[in-house]
Amino acid sequence: MRIAYVAVKGIPIGGGIEKVTEEIGSRLVERGHEVIVYASRDYGTTDCLYNGMRIKTVPSINTKALHKLSICFMATFDVMFRESVDLVHVHAVGPSIFSLFPRLFGIPTVVQTHGLEWKRDKWGVIGKAFLKLAEWSVVAFPSRATSVSLVQKQYFKEKFGKELTYIPNGVSPVEKREPCWLLQQGIIPGRYVLFAARLVEEKGTHFLIQAFRKLNTDMQLVIAGDAAHAEKYKTLLNELAGDDPRIIFTGFVNGDPLTELFSNAYLFCLPSTIEGLPVALLEAMNYGNCCLASDIPENLEALEAHGYTFRNRDVHDLHQRLAELLASPEKVEVKKAAGAEHVYRNYSWERVTDQMEELYRSFVQDTTVKVSTPPGKYRKSAGEILT
């Protein structure tokens, strides 16, 4: 199959959606499929091959409200008029409105939902209203819609009476890495609380900084991440951190540095107010970390009984839980192996790819017909061959 992903911010720079695309897309390439990933040019991404996937960049309107929608619009236009694909995979609720247009051209579409986006703190009245309306397009426009969490699947069932296909996020087998980059950054192995996610308001980093600063501890707080269109919020985080030498902002990290951070943390904390199924939380558990997270339903679904929680948006409760866990290494230790076993048993990118590939094949029935067209020339899609 030839599959197009519409659209991501950047590869590999980005967040959970970019991680999902990379993990599934690269595995599909290994299985013999062709994958095109549409990405914005605003994150430094260029047209290239990355892990076997063809990255194709498009222009955008680089504002908070229009960036995602504009890259999806441009990607949808390109995939309909300049490419020949068997299926279009659209990410997230807002962009789901574009899933109708490939279908009008006879191309099946899948919308993958990653959370109830209207709940995000960054949106005003107009943004929230648009995203609530866009939820209708999730169940009306694509050939099929999927949900990364059972919580979200139930939400769409109750609101629209429609069943989304549950395909969660996953993890891969990992090997821990000894500290090297950490030491260069002045980060003490085994003596830090780790936050690793985008620096946007709904991730709750401000709650964590406020709670941590009240602690009487020589532990460090490492905040790994960045975000576009969030300068005001990042300024707030730096103001909240003040001159506290225990708080370290690393910026965006990936590869070996991120592996070192996950491998050597004392505790991982995710104080988010909204999630789909948090990839960062699954990854932290996958590395054998004890995790502390807000008690939103999506975090509870990921953790089950294999971590600790605090009341969502409650700085005092977060402070109390941090103080308790920093003072009780035995409570931290008891969750590590169980958490790693939990995600290994229930979340696997290989299994996720199996499920997604099976879903794609349910729309693209015949992918074995060979067309004698030279490489680089127009090639008919399976749907056109069948007609």
The per-residue pLDDT for range 66-105, each reduced to its tens digit, is: 888 999 999 999 999 999 999 999 999 999 999 999 999 9
Mean pLDDT (whole number) for 237-266: 96
- Residue 370 pLDDT level (bands cut at 50, 70, 90): very low
Q: In this predicted model, which residue has the larger pLDDT, 84 or 115? A: 84
Helices (H), the chain: 16-30, 67-81, 100-104, 125-140, 150-160, 181-184, 205-213, 231-241, 255-263, 279-286, 297-303, 315-326, 329-346, 349-361, 382-386
Q: Are 292 and 325 in contact (CB under 8 A)?
A: yes
pLDDT at 75: 96
Counts for the chain of helices (H) and strands (E), in that order: 15, 14
Query: By percentage, how much of the chain surpasses pLDDT 70?
Result: 94
Do 325 and 267 touch, CB atoms closer than 8 A?
yes
Task: List the structure tokens of 58.
Answer: 């498009």
Dig out the tokens for 56 from the structure. 């194709």
CB contact set of 302 (below 8 Å; sequence gap of 6+) = 277, 278, 281, 282, 285, 293
Cβ distance 98 to 264 under 8 Å? no
- Residue 379, pLDDT score: 35
pLDDT 10s digits, 146-170 = 999 999 999 999 999 999 999 999 9
Q: pTM of the predicted model, to two decimals?
A: 0.87
Give me the pLDDT at residue 378, please. Answer: 32
Query: β-strand 2-8 against 267-270: which pairing, if any?
Result: unpaired
- Residue 119's pLDDT is 84
383 falls in which pLDDT band (50, 70, 90)? very low
**Which is nearest to 65 in space by CA: 117, 114, 26?**
117
Look up tokens 């996020």; give the residue.
169
